[in-house]
Structure 1
Amino acid sequence: MARQMSPEEYQELGKRYYKLKDYEKGINVLTQGIEVAPTLGLYDHRAATYEKLKDFNAAVKDGREMIKLDKKEVKGYLRTASVLEKMEKPEIALGIYKYGMKNVSIHDKNFKLLQQLHDKITRQLSPPIAMDPFTVLPVELAEMVLAYMPFRNMVNCMRVSKGWKDYLAKRPKLWLHLDLSGARKPVSRSFVGNAVRRSQNRLTRATICRFEHMDVLVNIAKACKELVELEFITFPYKMSSTLIDIVQCAPGLRKFIVHPVITTNTARHILRYGRSLEHVGFMGVDWTHYITLWQGPFEALHTLSIHMVKYGPGLSMGLDFLLPQTPNLQYLALSNLPGDVMMPWPDEISQLPPMETLVLKRVQFDRFPLLPPTLRRLEVDYDGSYRLGPYERNIMRSRVPKLTHLKLGGFELRAKTLESFLDSWTDEEYVMMQSPTMHPLTEATPLESLSVRGVLGTELAQYGLFKGRESLFGCSPRVLTPALLSLDISTLPCNDDEIEHLLTYKTGIQSIDISCTKITGASIKMLVDGLPSLKTIKAEDCPNIGGLDAIHYAERRGISVSWKMGKQIGKQRVNYG
């Protein structure tokens, strides 16, 4: 019996016929080899032989077979595209090059060749007379287009050509925001100096990252009289004292945000010398070495955010002294505060600024803070198990008729407490009495957004969430109204019966979060059918959802469903949907 030749032997024999220019026999031999065991080499050599015979269609077909055999091998793309170019089909060849660049590793030694051929044919397909857009577009329109480009991309555009560099360098309006947030390595002094000169010292905003020359920033604060916003993402270690110098040298500064850790003393002096500051954010404060003595008033301040990273025992943040000195403060966000640092809080409503937003994240306190009547948005994430009682002194004294967004978490909450908070108030002189006189709030605004997470209390199991006046959310006429657009009850004891009770109220809910509850797929369907304005449902980690039918039902009705399961559903393990 004759020995069967290997693919390598067929390939070698086909190469010999190719060198002898006996192309017909070469094709026959290579075809026999492909029938035995198709390889990239056999297809490649047969495609080359077909090219010699001017049978380009057959050559392209073999090239495509090479791509099918191994998408990560560059030879198939090079062979196929080169034949297509000979067939005067450059657009299709360009598509093959693009497809190859998606599949071939950039570390392949021939990837650069693939890219060069792609760029070459791209240039060939370009208009015969290419025009620089900056020479055609009006200056105003060009600046408008470039204004939408991130600062880092605009800097990269300066490397395109000398003409582009000169054009961009002479447009001061493009350099008004020095944004170094996209810097991947330390930024040089010369780059920042050039950028400021290109702005003609008219810099209005600066975002500092990976720049260690603080003396340059002091000079910028002195030279750029129109500088109004300054944000530090990073700065050199133990250089926070220079921030005070910068604030002193920039009297027109309106917004000042610092992400790295600074000391209490630095924060205090920034506010002391930055009398024109309207928006201040201290995103990392070490409150261990100083007792705060705020030196106000801070009449321009309307937004203040403070995140504490370290704090010493027994130190006070001095909020009872700070807040009365901020007569125009509208937004206050405090996070990571223990009770002794957060308190004392102002004890008189007249001492509180006209805040519209109060955000307290990961905080602790011995008593609930007194709230101003101007409040529209309240977010309190208590870091502990504080019992929020209905006769809490500041709950009874606070009047929040304008409140539309409420988010609570980490409390032991009762329905009577929520009712007392939203619907009534009492005078201070009655607070210490056993039965204080409660006054109903008149013309109170209904809630538009409500989020209650992780609350504790035996009443929840007894009266539930939505059934009747004794339930947690049925107690106040401000909650379940047509104005309610967003509801978050994740982690609460919610089941299908509770969802059915919810749907007895006429609400305008567009978004609902029922994650980590005991609902089943029936609740999903009830929400879809019962809430005509519903747009999104979040139902992650709900173990009682026994199938995907309800999810698909909602999606077919045009409702977006976010869900994640950690258990087996049917025969399929579900991760994300």
Structure 2
Amino acid sequence: MGRREYLSRLALGRSPFETIDRRNDGSSKQADDGESTETEGSVQSMHGTQQYNSKGRPINPTTDLRNAEMRTAQNSVLELVGVVERRERSEHSSEMKFRYIHHARQTVLAAEHETGEGIESLIQLLIAPLTTWWSDCLIQRCLIGLYPAEEPFASIVSSMWQTLRIGGFKGTYSVLVPGLIPYVTYVIARMCSEALAEDVIRRLSERVLRQTLPIRHRKRMLHFLELTEAGLRLLIDGALLPMVYYATAQQIGIAPAYPLLPPLQYHLPWSPNSFHAFGWKPLIGLPLLRSISSPAALILGQTLLHIESEEGIISSTDLTTFRRPSFGELPDVPKTPTIKDPLGWILFQTYGLRRKVVEWCGWTIVPSANAPSLDAKHEIDVLDGNGDGTDGNLRRHRSTALARLPAQHLAAHIDSFLERLVLLPFECIVLRAVAVSCSNSSLPKTLEALAATPTLPGPFGGWISQALHSRSTIASVSAQANKVGLGLILRLTMGTLLCTGVAKGICWIVTIGGAEATLATSCILRIRLSIRKIRISSIVTSQTFAAVPPQSFSAYPSLFRRRLLPALVTALAVPTSRGRDLFALLSHALDPRCAARMNRVQEGLQREGKSCYKRGDYKTAIGHFDRAIGRAPSVQLLDNRAACHEKLNDLPAALKDAKRAIQFQNEDPTGYLRAGKVLFRMEKQSVALEIYAHGLKKVKHIGQGYELLRKVHGELTTQLAPPTSVDPLTVLPRELAELILGYLSFQQRIAISRVSKQWSDFIRSSPDLWQHLDLSNPKRKVKTAFVSKAINTARQKLTAATLSSLHDFDKVLHALLRHCPIEQLTLCDTGLQSQNLVEALKKSKHLKSLRLDRGTEIGPTTFAQVIQVCASTLENFQCTLARNEEFVSICTKCERLNTLKVTLTGDVSRHRTGRAPPIAPVAPGLGGELLPNLHEFTPNLQSLTIHDKKPRSLLHSVLDLRNLGGLERLDLELPFDSAHQLVPPPSLVHLRFVNTLNTGCANFFKDSNFNYRKFSLPQLQSLEVAVPWLDVKLIDFFLSGYPELNASTPREARESLSKLKELNLYALSVSPDGLGALLSLPRLKQLLKLGLRPSSVCDDNIADAITETLPSLHTVDLSGTDITGVGVKKLLRDSNLKNLVVNDCRYLGSDAVAWAREHGVKVAYKMSSSETGGKKVRY
């Protein structure tokens, strides 16, 4: 053991000269055998004394520690080389895999659920009403006694079938959908009227809220507006009663199916044939019942009863405590109500019967004994067990709307059948009142109605009073009752079988068909996403009228308003602005968010939820808020439910409700405040700050909500700001700050001067930042006072000015040239007169560069005067010349002028001689020489640019520049007809030659004797040629160097020619052979940039000619050619290409562009044509 310390130093990597810590910390370690070494009960002694564990075994803590360290090191090495994996990481990987599978499954189930809801909406909106309409009409006709008592029910159905088979379109309409057209007309008219009324009331309410009125007066005015809205709704219902009456008469077979709509006199109150002349007549003489016994009063009461029950003012939920569970939630079977709740007892009996039928069909409902032990947090989780559910062996599975669609429709039809039986007497009274009134009116009637008029029973009494006086009437009453029962059974059977079969078929198509059902599913999902889900209510009246569409004229307006019309508005693309405005008005009125008040039931549910929230019972409060939101959601209800979720620490659910509140009404600050608070608790402060900022943009700048939103936004901004926020201009040295601001443009400096007063003072106190007064492209006209401040700030350092859109150009220009040493002056859109410009320039003593852009056109006379005034100092002169008279060359000697650019606008002269024809164009220097003796007046000219933007005719002048020995850059855009009109100097380095003629110039280099003209340009390095339909081979005439150059020319003369670095050929006729012959010239061996936009068709063959002859090329522009991906690959093969421009190449795919970019080439690729391009997809 004498070498233990030395060996331990070597094993653990310590130095032999390092002392070892001999202390024993006594902590429990893990021995090799896996047993725990505890210090309690062990012998604590100095080093060298044997120690034992709790089991009496000898231990050495130092050895155990060293062994543990060695195992850890070995595991780390094995993990590094990939032999083993840590248990924690493996478990994490398995958990992530499980989460991914779970997320994928939830996504599939969510898509299936959305598909089921869309199919449900389709069946509820179209299939169910259209298929059960005729059976409902048959039941109604049996209720009023339209058919004789002795006629069998089978005979009635057979006669309807015969009419349907041989009656054509008229017979089909009268049997299947009688009264549909007036009913749809009623729905549309009512929706539009209610939309207009709600919009007017909303605007008046907003106007009242904006006014500064006392609270009492404001409440009175709002209450008055509510009463006015209710009155308008009642007036609309009363005005539309004739249409409802006519539709009911057609359904019960009293009025004929044609005409589809009643005449105009039928609606006018003053007409003798009006509905109001007989529709309001009472059908009973009792004083108490006289006012409510008319057909109009009964229909209006039926309509108002349904509307009020839907809005919660008169609702069966206030009369009973029974709640029917829906298929979309976890079943919570209620207990049997007592006899003190008769309505609840009746509903419970109907529910029990429906439950037995549904369970018999295979849909298991969980009994109440097992319901409390289930987790009810899942929204669409259901439990499926044995038939009776008594053994408690329940299996949870995920159920979607698509899976439960057939059973849900079966239950809905059973509910409607049973509830219709309950309300059958009231329906019978309404229909008989309409039948008797219509039979006694002047409206046209059907043959069945005329035959049955003497035997039609009255609405009050009817068969009962007849049965009391005649024994034979009992048999007829029994026969009619049998017909009604058979009709009800027929409707239940057909509706159930048809809707269930359609649901099963669609489910099978969606599940099995796959690709065949993609289009239908997407359409259904589109409808589903654009409408609001209708919550299945347990209200007796509401469910009854919603389930029986023909006799109710208020259920389907709500269904149509909430489901069908928003889907049509979303699906249709309205092309005209007038149509868009109409649909926008309808959508605004149909949106439930426009409701300004909640109903009594909602207020009660909200009060119960708030009281539960105060008591701390947050789950119960969420249940109350869910029921209230199911009726009609509002921002306040969503915020209340989000607060409950926040208390339960369910932050994602709270954030979801907050986002829904924002989407519901983006001008209400409540949703933004709640979302920001939840995001702050989720430690997403930056996102919360963005939510607050977005809310400040949307919320109106009035009220406490906006102030609170601004307050929390400021507090969060302060909290997220750095602890020491300092102004950089106060910390940085002045020289460094000026250097940084020097990188900004003049407009940017003026913009940042508005940050603070300190920044403004700093910028205004630095004359170096005001050397260039750049007023180009201003948003509005610049005031003269600003220019005066700039002159005073610059302190004689203002040397450049760009003026545009000033209030007083003359005053500003005179002040600048008088007080500042202006060297560079640019005038844009000044509108200055020629004489004023010349007078102002006379004051300039340092002007070196003068630029007169478009908007400051001058004439040739003014051009000469400007040159004469600034001849001693001018070095750069650019102007836009209005061609209203002949262009005169420079007649003043300008020793320093080295750059001259003249742009001809092409304006036709207003002052013509009498000999000139009225349409004769005026070209510069017709019949003479263009710019004669230019070398005498501008001996140091280095750059010359002449552009003719609107050529009117050919240019017959000759531009002779041979004597300009210092000219290096020449840029011409003129309507040349021949190359003989241009004589360039041999000193040119850069040449841009553009022929503005639109006609072909194939013989451009030939004269009248068919002799070719060559240019002597031995120093040329950059060439751009654009001559329409010129053969690319003839470009050699620009590159010959010397006209007399031939095969016998010495080699030294050939090698003395410069090598071109850039070549651009536009609008030429290009062929692969001709291009190859051109590019093989010796002067192009060192070409770096090549631009080729030919007028002829060029394909991938030009790529071979380019790559074979130009090895040093690094930039190529092939825009507008027919090159494909094959050509791009050829260009990049064994080349030094770095930049590639392929704009508007219609045959080039994006994959080839991506491939080229992957190989390190910078590719510019965009399509400007509308045929190949498309709308941008923003994501």
Partner of 2:1112: 508
- Residue identity matched to 1:266: T
Q: 1:253 aligns with which of 827, 844, 847?
A: 847
What is the aligned counterpart of 2:1040 among 416, 423, 429?
Answer: 423
Structure 1 residues 1-80: aligned runs within 5 Å: 2=324, 3-4=537-538, 12-20=603-611, 21-24=614-617, 25-31=620-626, 42-50=637-645, 53=647, 55=648, 57-59=649-651, 61-67=653-659, 73=666, 75-80=670-675
Sort the Cα spacing of 1:218 and 1:552 in 2 relative to 1 into closer, same or farther, 3 A.
Answer: same
**SS state at 1:425 partner:** coil
Deviation at 1:341?
8.9
Could you tell me whether the CA contact under 8 Å between 1:207 and 1:233 is conserved in 2? yes
Shift of 1:318: 4.2
CA distance in 1, matches of 2:697, 2:1074: 57
Distance 1:506 1:490 in 2: 19
C-alpha distance in 2, partners of 1:330/1:69? 70
> Tell me, which stretches of 5 or more residues in structure 1 are unaligned?
none
Match of 2:1088 among 480, 484, 488: 484
The TM-score, its normalising length taken from structure 1, stands at 0.82
1:551 aligns with 2:1153: yes
The CA distance in 1 between the partners of 2:1058 and 2:838, in whole Å, is 43
The residue aligned with 1:244 is 838
Report the counterpart of residue 230 of structure 1 in structure 2: 825
Using the TM superposition, give the Cα deviation of residue 252 of structure 1 relative to its aligned residue in structure 2, in angstroms. 0.7
Q: 1:307 aligns with which of 903, 906, 909?
A: 903
Q: CA deviation at 1:382?
A: 0.6
Whole-angstrom distance in 2 between the partners of 1:175 and 1:567: 45
CA distance in 1, matches of 2:1132, 2:1047: 44
CA distance in 1, matches of 2:652, 2:629: 16
Q: How does 1:394-473 map to 2 (within 5 A)?
A: 396=1013, 398-414=1015-1031, 417-426=1034-1043, 441-456=1054-1069, 460=1070, 464-467=1073-1076, 471-473=1077-1079
Distance in 1, matches of 2:1170 and 2:954, equals 43
1:355 equivalent in structure 2: 967
Q: Which amino acid aligns with 2:1165?
A: S
Distance across 2 between alignment mates of 1:510 and 1:83: 56
* Aligned with 1:270 (options 846, 863, 866): 866
1:494-525: CA deviations, max 9, x gaps? 22233223322242222223233333331122
**In the alignment, structure 1 residue 195 sits paired with structure 2 residue 800:** no
TM-score, scaled relative to structure 2: 0.42
Moved more, 516-525 or 308-317: 308-317
Q: 2:933 is matched with which residue?
A: 321
d(CA) in 1 for partners of 2:789, 2:1170: 58
Match for residue 387 of structure 2? none
* Distance (whole Å) between structure 2 residues aligned to residue 419 and residue 347 of structure 1: 21
In the alignment, the residues of structure 1 paired with residue 1170 and residue 751 of structure 2 have an alpha-carbon distance, to the nearest angstrom, of 48
- 1:160 and 2:755 equivalent? yes
Q: Please say if residues 554 and 561 of structure 1, whose CA atoms lie closer than 8 Å, have aligned partners that are also in contact.
A: no
Q: Which has the higher strand share?
A: 1
Q: Distance in 1 between matches of 2:845 and 2:634?
A: 74
Q: Deviations over 1:90-110 (max 9, x none)?
A: xx33322325646x6946527
Distance 1:506 1:202 in 2: 50
Inter-partner Cα distance in structure 2 for 1:324 and 1:397: 26
CA 1:386–1:320: 2 relative to 1, 3 Å: farther
SS in 2 for 1:381: strand
More moved, 367-376 vs 526-535: 526-535
The 8 Å contact of residues 423 and 441 in structure 1, kept in 2 or not, is answered as: no
Q: 1:390 to 1:158 in 2, by over 3 A?
A: closer
For 2:608, give the aligned amino acid.
Answer: Y
8 Å contact kept, 2:894–2:937: yes
| Larger helix share, 1 or 2 | 2
Choose the corresponding residue for 1:98, options 672, 690, 707: 690
Aligned counterparts of 1:426 and 1:477: Cα–Cα separation in 2? 16
Is the 1:386–1:410 Cα contact (8 Å) retained in structure 2? yes
| Partner residue, 1:215 | 811
Give 2:947's match in structure 1, choosing from 329, 335, 340.
335
Per-residue deviation at 1:300?
Answer: 1.2
- 1:203 CA displacement: 0.9
| Higher-RCO chain (CA-CA 8 Å, sequence separation at least 6) | 2
Separation (CA, whole Å) in 2 of partners of 1:391 and 1:157: 61
Matched residue of 1:478: which SS? helix
Structure 1 pair 400–70 and aligned structure 2 pair: CA distance change class (3 A): farther
Q: How far apart, CA to CA, are the structure 2 residues paired with 1:271 and 1:189?
A: 28
The alignment status of 1:377 with 2:1011, answered yes or no, reads no
Within the alignment, does 1:279 sit opposite 2:891 as a pair? Answer: no
What amino acid is aligned across from residue 654 of structure 2 in structure 1? D
Specify whether residues 516 and 202 from structure 1 end up closer, same or farther in structure 2 by C-alpha distance, changes over 3 A only: closer
CA apart distance, 1:286: 0.6
Contact 1:564 1:574 (8 Å CA) reproduced? no
Aligned-pair distance for 1:401? 1.8
Counterpart contact for 2:645–2:653, Cα < 8 Å? no
Structure 2 counterpart SS, 1:281: strand
Number of aligned residue pairs: 546
Identity across aligned pairs (percent)?
Answer: 24
Conserved 8 A contact 2:1088-2:1113:
yes
Amino acid at match of 1:477: P
**Separation in 2 of the partners of 1:382 and 1:530?**
36
Tell me the equivalent position of 1:527: 1131
Is the Cα–Cα contact under 8 Å of residues 48 and 59 in structure 1 kept in the other structure?
no
Q: Which residue of 2 aligns with 1:81?
A: 676
Alpha-carbon distance change, 39 to 270 in structure 1, aligned in 2, over 3 angstroms: same
Query: How far 1:211 moved relative to its partner?
Result: 1.0
The one of 733, 755, 765 equivalent to 1:138 is 733
Per-residue deviation, residues 210-260 of structure 1 (Å, max 9, x unmatched): 1132123212201112x211111221x343433223322112111111112
Partner Cα separation in structure 1 for residue 644 and residue 654 of structure 2:
11
Asked whether the equivalents of residues 541 and 565 of structure 1 are also in contact (C-alpha less than 8 Å), the reply is no
> In 2, distance between residues paired with 1:106 and 1:528?
51
Alignment partners' CA distance in 1, 2:974 and 2:1005: 22
Q: What stretches of structure 2 of length at least 5 have no aligned partner? A: 1-322, 325-536, 543-591, 593-597, 910-921
| Structure 1 SS opposite 2:1082 | coil
**Conservation of the 8 A alpha-carbon contact between 2:1099 and 2:1123:** yes
Deviation at 1:166, TM superposition (A): 2.9
Secondary structure of 2:1109's match? coil
Letter in 2 for 1:487: G
| 3-state SS of paired residue (2:751) | helix
